[in-house]
Amino acid sequence: MTASVRTRLVEIVVPVYNEQRVLAESVRRLHAYLSGTFPYGFRITVADNASTDDTWRIATDLSRELSHVHAVHLDAKGRGRALRRVWSASDADVVAYMDVDLSTDLDAFLPLVAPLLSGHSDLAIGSRLSRGANVVRGPKREIISRTYNLLLRSAMGARFSDAQCGFKAARTEIVQALLPAVEDEEWFFDTELLLLAERHGLRIHEVPVDWVDDPDSRVDILRTVLDDLRGMARVTRKTLSGAARIPVPPRVQRAQLPTGMARQLPSFAVIGAVSTLAHLGLFVLLRLVMPAVAANAVALFVTAVANTAANRRFTFGVTGRTGALRHQVQGGVAFLIGLLLSTGGLALLHRLAPGAPAVAEVTAVVVANALATLVRFLLLRTWVFGPRRTKGAGR
C-alpha cells in the first residue's frame, strides 16, 4: 500500500444565474476534462446567484452525481458577489473561475494555473486580445471590448490586455488578501481586482485563449459598460486619495517534484547504488575469464533483472505476480540502453587507448551506467510503472 501524497488543489468556480439550459452539460464536460487530463486535485463549485428557474436544483443534482463538484446558493445576484463568497472561504492553493458557457477552450486551463502553482505569478488571466489568441465573436462585442481595454490602459495605466475574459485564476492567499479592498459585486469585480493587484506590484500572467462567443449570453452590454465606467471613476478617486496599501503575501517560488517522486527517488537511489556495486563486482570477476564487453553484458543482465524486481516492489509499490513478467520485459529496454551505453564506452576506450588497464575500464563502465541510470528511472516511472499501467495491479 503506497503512502498518500497530498496534491495541489485548484478550485474552479462557475457563477450561474438562470442557466438551466446549459448548466448540466457544461459541468459534466468540465468535470470529464479535468478528470482525464488535469494533473492536480480540483474542485468545481457551482455558485448560483439567486436563480429563479431550475438552476439550483440542477446544481445540487450535479453535486450528488459527480465527485469533486459542489454547489453554493446566494440570495442576491452578482458575479463578483459569487466569486467573493467562494474564494474567501476556499482552502485550495489556487482559485479560478470560468463562464458556464465554456466559451474559452479548456486546453488553456493548465497554462493558466501552472504559473500560480509554481509560485511564478500571483494572478492569471485568459486574454482574447493578446497575440496568439483565436477569437470568434461579432463586431459589436469586439469593438466594445477593445475600446474598454484601451481605456483601461490609457486612463488607468493598466498593463494587462483583457480585463473582461471570463477565465481567470489567482493564488488563494493573494486573492483573499485583496478581496476586502474590492468593492464591486458584479461585472467590474474582475477589473477592480486586477487594478488593485497591479497597484501592489503583483505579477499577472496572461494566456492567449481560443474563445467562441456565446450567442445566448445574458449580459446587458449597455448596463455593464455604464457600471464599468462608474467603477473606473471610483477606483481612480480611491487611488488619488492615497488608499492604504494591503499587506499581501510575498510571492514564493516553489520548486516541487512531481507527485510521488519525493518518495521514489531515495528508494531508487539506494537500489541503484546496490545494483551498481553488484554490477562492478560481477564485472571484475567475470573479466578474469572473458572479454570486457562480454563480462559487462552478463553482469548488466543479472543486475538489471534484480534491479527491476526491487524497484517494482520498493520504489513503485507494486506487489503480486500480476504483470511481473511484463515489467521485466519492459525493464529489459532499460537494460539494452545501459548495455549500449556501457559497451559503447568500453569500445571508445579501447579505440582511444588500446590495452587500457582494468581501472580505466571500470571508470568507463561507471560513467556509462550513470547515464543509463537516469534513463532507467524515467522509463520505470513514466512507462513500466506509470500510473495507468500499474492501475489494478497489487499495491
344: left (phi over 0), alpha (psi -120 to 50) or beta: alpha
Contacts of 330 (CB under 8 A, 6+ apart): 379, 383, 384
- Please, are residues 79 and 50 in contact by the beta-carbon 8 Å criterion? no
33: alpha, beta or left? (left if phi > 0; alpha if psi -120 to 50): alpha
Give me 339's grid cell. Answer: 548495455
3 state SS of 95: strand
> CA 248 from chain center: how many Å?
24
Handedness of CA 56, 71, 97, 151 (dihedral sign): positive
d(CA 273, CA 155): 63
| Residue 346: closest CA among 367, 315, 372 | 367
Phi, psi of 109 (to 5 degrees): -70, -45
The 8-class DSSP code of residue 314 comes to: I
Other C-beta atoms closer than 10 Å to the C-beta of 340 total 12
Q: How many CA atoms lie within 13 A of 19 on its CB side?
A: 25
190 labelled catalytic: yes
CA 109 to chain centre: 8
Of 190, 213, 216, 227, the catalytic one is: 190
Query: Given the DSSP bridges, would you call strands 204-208 and 134-136 parallel, antiparallel or unpaired?
Result: unpaired
Sheet holding 204-208, edge to edge: 69-74, 41-49, 9-16, 94-98, 167-171, 123-127, 204-208
Nearest 5°: the CA angle 92, 202, 153 is 120
Q: What is the DSSP string of 136-157?
A: E--HHHHHHHHHHHHHHHHHS-
Provide the grid cell at 97: 473561475
Number of other CB atoms surrounding residue 28 within 10 Å: 14
Active site residues: 190
